[in-house]
Structure 1
Amino acid sequence: MSTITRSASASPCMALNAIIDPSLFPLKSTADVVNLFRRALTSGIEPDLTLLSIVVGYIELSLTTGEAAQAAAAAAAAAEQQHSTSGDIIMGNSVPFPIVTHELIAGLYKKFQTILSVVEKPKPHRQATREVIKKVSDVIWNSLIRSSYKDRAHLQNLYSYLSGNKLDCFGVALAVVAGCQLLGYKDVRLAISEDHAWVVFGQKRVETIEVTWHGKGSEDKRGQDITPGIESGSWLYLGGLAVVCERGMEVAAICAALNISLTTNSDCVEVAELQQQLLWLLYDLGHLKKYPMALGTLGELEEIHRTHRSISCEQLYREAIEAARTHYRNHHVYPYTYQGNYYNRLLKYREAFAAWANAADVIRLYTYQCRDDEEIYKELLDIANELIPYVMKTESSGHSARSILRDSEVFANLLRFYDGICQWEEDSLTPILHIGWAKPLVTNITKFDYDIRSQVVIKLPEDVEAEQAAAAAAAAEQAKKAQEALQFEGNNNNNNTLIKKDEKHNADGKKSELPTTLADLTAACGEKILNPDFLLQGGGQPFADQKQQTSVQQAGKSTVTATTTTTPSVEQQQHNNINNNNTTAKEATTNGGSNVQSSSSEANSTNVEHKEAKMETTETAAAAAATTTAAKAAAVTTAATHTNSSIDDYDPFEIMLKRPVITLYSQKMKGLKDLLLAEKLNTHAISLQVTAQSVASRKVRGVDKQPSNISTHATINVTAIASSAGSDGGTGASPALASAAANDSIAASRPKRTRRE
């Protein structure tokens, strides 16, 4: 049953006449509201965005800004003073649930119809045009109150607009889409990045138009295309890989935009409960599969108060990351910051550092734009200058063997985090890393002793390219030798000198395996990736997808350690293929894959996505394409053994034996290579290098960026180094790290909630 019954005899000069079903009202509880949304989403007719936004907007404002809400906020403020030392955000409540009547909603609905009556409704099967959408946005824009309310809360719904003529950036975009739906334009959809919203339209929904503004400035962008923002490399537009909503996802956007805050440090329990139940409804109906931000919001709500028995907040954070990888080529940053901050609250610092480094690997895909990227700048600044220094201070107090300061992988992830930010700064007209960034960075680096820092293997892109070229040449030479051997065997066969397989024996009576091995090697060269260790050193299996067996101990001989190497799984290869993209027409991409060590919480199993190589000329692109085949033959990464070790199996010495391998791509961090591995740190030189003006090429309007030699993003491959202390015995690959804290650890504080448009 539809919640809205539309009249077919509506006047051409008026908006479509809609009569809200009075049987659905009044709404007296959260269950009633959830039931309204369920009927709207499952009735077979697309849900009415205007109706749903008015309903939840009225409830939100009544519970957070009404008289009763003000009294609850005062009580919460008093409780906050009593708990000021805990750092937790107080869940203020005791506000009666507002009764949503049919008369209230119908009156506001009719008012919105009247506002849109100046826009002509479409003819049958007519699609929206840029002019129509611009006119709808003009009507809404011109009716807003001109005041400094852009950064205030609770202004993202149609109730705020219809009752007070106030909307924030997201609210304007939502109002335009809802207005077009009310008029009868079915091809207009909402597009949402991590800090902005606009409209897509057309048969294939590839046409884009700005309908609002962004940032603190008063200038609007209405009517413009978003292509210039994509071409500038701004994070604000996510490289053109923002969330383009269907109707169900637009309902999810309405629910995710609910603001549960009473004051700066207190939340409303009733609004949080309503938002949580609505998001679970949308999750069960499959409308959050392509919406990473909504999954992250639901994860935070579950972290505060768990309501689902089988799905944890940690799983929701992983699903958000998976959605960003699968549907948006890993161009979303917030899924990783959600996960990293979650692990940080659980005191799982190793996993937190890995997640933050993965976030930096995404931000390196963009070019910093001062005004557009303000929100993500503040997010990363908070991680770099607040969260990480606090963790370092906490861990350095005891300095035990279990401390992350004795873990070289944590140091490698710290470098990867700053490498991503430095590369984000490159080509930007505004520098990022000032002295305020440099001081915490230098302090954090000095926390790691030389014996830990020296374990990290730092490579540069040119080193990787040289290794790949050498491996490719060795593979070609081996294939050539195998082909010659095969031809020789064929000639022997033609002369009737080929011995039968069952008659081929050595002097010892053992069967010779050499001819069949060469034949198999030659036959499989076109289908499998050769193992560089086999080609360069003669050890191990010839192909990377064959599991290397542990060497058999011989009598009177010392044991030999075998290192386990695997090729990326099919799922990982699919992720790598998805990540091969470029949002600029003049850019070409060369990608490489990597595996990152997994821990018991799987934080380090998040595979770092690929950095896009930007080439200026077709000659450079052709050269890259020519080497692709050879590179694939040698591209293999070394991963640690994936072991889900319990906290009881935790061995601090295994951490000390790891040799993380990291590739640095930013100009600033490449210049720090020798300084970072020096026995005595030159903090002054490090600070000068970090705060120096970017040496990368500057992008001028109308001129392409200069070619970059960066082909892949920074990666970490953790391997175990065999221990031979006082004996000839060896050990195998080091097992993966156990969790840094027990499973029953409680959060240090509840999630820090910020309003993101």
Structure 2
Amino acid sequence: MKKRDICLRAKMDIAKEDMSRFPITTTDEFVGLFESHIRRALDDETEPDLAFLSIVLGYLESRLTLTESSDVNSSNADSTLGSPGRRSPNNQQKNGDASAYEEHEGDGDSDFPTLEFEVVEALYLKFSILVKSVIDRTTTENTTRSGTATRFLCKKVSDLLWNRLYPHYHKDKAHIQSLFSFLTGRQLDCFGLAIVVIAACQILKYSDVHLGMSEDHAWAIHGDKIIEMTEITWHGKGTEDRRGWSLKKTDTEKSWMYLSGNGIMCTRMMEIASMVVAINPSIDAHTDSGTLCVVQHKLLRLMMEIGALEKYPLGLSLLAEFDNSEELHKRSVKSVEKYYDGGHVLPYSLQGQFYSRNGKHKEAISCWANASQVLTRYNYTREDEEVYREIMDIAKEYIPFCIKSDPSICEDRECFLDLIRFYDGICLWEEDSSTPVLHSWWAKYFTHTLGRFPAEVRSTFKIDVSDDEDESGCSNSSTQNVKHSLRNDDSTINDSSDATNTISTLGVRSSKMKGLENLLVGSKKFNAHAVSLQLTAQSQVHLSRKRPGSGPETTTEYSGRIKKPKKFFE
């Protein structure tokens, strides 16, 4: 296809209604462009243009955040992972109060830049020419007989973009998650590459190619029945050679990075929602763009109105942070339980942070225990650094803050049990894993937290002396009673939890916590040194019984104390 023909067709791809809305000079005009584009697609039953919307979003974000002062510190601003699976709403709303941004609602246009259509058009044409001049959809290696994309096509598009990225840059810095950043700076983060690949496939008229997401990764879903899943981006460091692989080859049965089959299968509207969630308002490590926050907030409300957040728990959590809404946090958790078998960690964690900020510290600890219990479904690997850091922050910062803010927590047996559940979940996450989790750092906060509870609280529990045949915890009725439900509205421990003096077992399921039961509840004095040694003992834990659904019996080695894992996302 000649370059001139490609240019003409690309111009025709941008709707006249969208062209007429430029130049854009206010927040309402920007949101109006999105709303008009999306509702027109819904009414006409056509697809929204991902490339166009990604360019416009990146254009605005660049103008509002990438100043001379912020460019130096952009890698230090919280980029977390560009993935919408992991963008923490707390970084958007540091004070946890929607009023912090409402002040920008009235005068939010004072620093709004002028967005010119000529810039958007030139970048759109550049991208169309790049994709259509290299990829030929008429070949059988790219397209199936039914007209759907092949795995080879997904790999070829990913390679095309990957090979044009600038070779030396910090791939997790801020503001490189859009098509705009690719076309103007040849930089993309993990999520950015994934969404640009999907946009390129859409330009090539592959309507079957959609975005798949976990809480920290993204891939392509395609095929006749949209069931094939292909790696199209990297994760962490040094894994770019996976691009083009089937997820059946890279996904493991108990991998948090892929959520064990409970990942999000996006529609086109959910893909737009993911781009909105991925917006990063950070100007530097301490300052956010108020105008960009207002835009993001309004766009999230729009996405919720059209139903694009119903099956997108992290999108609901982010909107809940903007609105300071308990109800939206509950909806996020219910979305996880209804559509993803309760297999997502972050909605529970973020719900706990919401409760903590609003003074409901006991409810916060219960939510964090629920988050930890979700991790028991998975085995820890070095690629799980994001959720590791999340859980580590809870143990290091959030839980101590709750106890300091509300000392009555240490008199509450339900809170004691929730903390036991929190650490028991971490121990179970470690079991059967190739990489240890717990070390001396964890022991410090474990003993500091649980040591605050007096003997009067700890003595209301007894050591579980049940037969080892029930070691897995599946058929142990006592464990089943004590195990806390992941339902958001369930705040009970067991059927008799309202009786303060009830003696019950801790119901721990991990080998390490079973070994600590006597030290935790069997003596009046809390022996922190002995607990620390037991938790980080340089010994092998031989599991005589396999964990539920963990496959064949295995022997897991704990190599003792290890250095704190390096964080990939700093």
Name the TM-score class by shorter chain: 0.7 to 0.9
Is residue 318 from structure 1 mapped to residue 319 from structure 2 by the alignment? no
CA deviations 1:335-394 (Å, max 9, x no partner) are 000011111112211101100000001011100001x10011011111112222233344
- Show the counterpart of 1:380: 391
- Show the counterpart of 2:541: 695
Superposition deviation, residue 301 in structure 1:
1.7
- Show the counterpart of 2:561: none
Q: Percent identity?
A: 38
Superposition deviation, residue 687 in structure 1:
1.0
CA contact (8 A) 2:474 2:480 kept: no
Is residue 663 from structure 1 mapped to residue 520 from structure 2 by the alignment? no
SS at match of 2:258: helix
- One-letter code of the match for 1:342? F
Is residue 98 from structure 1 mapped to residue 113 from structure 2 by the alignment? yes
Q: Sort the Cα spacing of 1:69 and 1:381 in 2 relative to 1 into closer, same or farther, 3 A.
A: closer
Q: 2:426 aligns with which of 414, 421, 424?
A: 421
CA contact (8 A) 2:234 2:243 kept: yes
In 1, distance between residues paired with 2:26 and 2:466? 59
Superposition deviation, residue 166 in structure 1:
0.5
CA contact (8 A) 1:457 1:659 kept: yes
- One-letter code of the match for 1:706? P
- Show the counterpart of 1:706: 552
> Which residues of 2 match residues 529-544 of structure 1 at below 5 A?
none
Is residue 120 from structure 1 mapped to residue 136 from structure 2 by the alignment? yes
- One-letter code of the match for 1:349? H
- Show the counterpart of 2:170: 149
Q: 1:679 aligns with which of 513, 519, 524?
A: 524
Q: Sort the Cα spacing of 1:464 and 1:676 in 2 relative to 1 into closer, same or farther, 3 A.
A: farther
Q: Sort the Cα spacing of 1:277 and 1:94 in 2 relative to 1 into closer, same or farther, 3 A.
A: closer
- One-letter code of the match for 1:217? G
Is residue 23 from structure 1 mapped to residue 57 from structure 2 by the alignment? no
Q: 2:252 aligns with which of 231, 235, 246?
A: 231
CA deviations 1:447-503 (Å, max 9, x no partner) are 1111101113564785895999899xxxxxxxxxxxxxxxxxxxxxxxxxxxxxxxx
- One-letter code of the match for 2:359? L
Is residue 412 from structure 1 mapped to residue 417 from structure 2 by the alignment? yes
What's the Cα RMSD here?
3.7
- Show the counterpart of 2:67: 66
CA deviations 1:593-627 (Å, max 9, x no partner) are 888599xxx9662799xxxxxxxxxxxxxxxxxxx
> Which residues of 2 match residues 86-235 of structure 1 at below 5 A?
96-116=111-131, 117-122=133-138, 126-217=147-238, 219-231=240-252, 233-235=254-256
- Show the counterpart of 1:390: 401
Question: 5+ unaligned residues in a row in structure 2: which ranges?
Answer: 78-93, 555-566
Q: Sort the Cα spacing of 1:462 and 1:604 in 2 relative to 1 into closer, same or farther, 3 A.
A: farther
CA deviations 1:74-118 (Å, max 9, x no partner) are xx9xxxxxxxxxx95997989721222221111110000111021
CA deviations 1:282-340 (Å, max 9, x no partner) are 1011110000111111112223xxxxxxxxx1111111100000000011000000011
CA contact (8 A) 1:458 1:664 kept: no
Q: Sort the Cα spacing of 1:326 and 1:470 in 2 relative to 1 into closer, same or farther, 3 A.
A: closer
CA contact (8 A) 1:350 1:410 kept: yes
Q: 1:38 aligns with which of 35, 40, 45?
A: 35
Q: 2:363 aligns with which of 330, 345, 351?
A: 351
Q: 2:449 aligns with which of 437, 444, 448?
A: 444
Judging by fraction of residues, say which structure has more helix: 2
CA contact (8 A) 2:333 2:488 kept: no
Q: Sort the Cα spacing of 1:661 and 1:98 in 2 relative to 1 into closer, same or farther, 3 A.
A: farther
When Rg is computed on C-alpha atoms for both structures, the one with the higher figure is 1
- Show the counterpart of 1:634: none
- One-letter code of the match for 2:297? Q
CA contact (8 A) 2:169 2:187 kept: no
In 1, distance between residues paired with 2:400 and 2:323? 27
Question: 5+ unaligned residues in a row in structure 1: which ranges?
Answer: 1-8, 77-86, 304-312, 397-402, 472-531, 533-590, 609-636, 642-653, 709-753
> Which residues of 2 match residues 638-653 of structure 1 at below 5 A?
638=495
SS at match of 1:289: coil
In 1, distance between residues paired with 2:375 and 2:427? 10
- Show the counterpart of 2:436: 431
In 2, distance between residues paired with 1:679 and 1:463? 26
SS at match of 2:220: strand
- One-letter code of the match for 2:334? E
Q: Sort the Cα spacing of 1:660 and 1:338 in 2 relative to 1 into closer, same or farther, 3 A.
A: farther
Q: Sort the Cα spacing of 1:607 and 1:259 in 2 relative to 1 into closer, same or farther, 3 A.
A: farther
Q: Sort the Cα spacing of 1:285 and 1:147 in 2 relative to 1 into closer, same or farther, 3 A.
A: same
CA contact (8 A) 1:68 1:95 kept: no
Larger displacement relative to structure 2 (347-356 or 216-225): 216-225
Superposition deviation, residue 203 in structure 1:
2.2
- Show the counterpart of 1:246: 267
TM-score normalized with structure 1 length: 0.62
> Which residues of 2 match residues 329-348 of structure 1 at below 5 A?
329-348=341-360
Superposition deviation, residue 436 in structure 1:
0.5
Superposition deviation, residue 70 in structure 1:
7.6
Superposition deviation, residue 37 in structure 1:
1.7
TM-score normalized with structure 2 length: 0.81
CA contact (8 A) 1:151 1:168 kept: yes
Q: Sort the Cα spacing of 1:323 and 1:455 in 2 relative to 1 into closer, same or farther, 3 A.
A: same
In 2, distance between residues paired with 1:148 and 1:696? 44
- Show the counterpart of 1:50: 51
CA contact (8 A) 1:351 1:604 kept: no
Superposition deviation, residue 698 in structure 1:
11
CA deviations 1:640-670 (Å, max 9, x no partner) are 67xxxxxxxxxxxx7x446565421110001
In 2, distance between residues paired with 1:254 and 1:428? 33
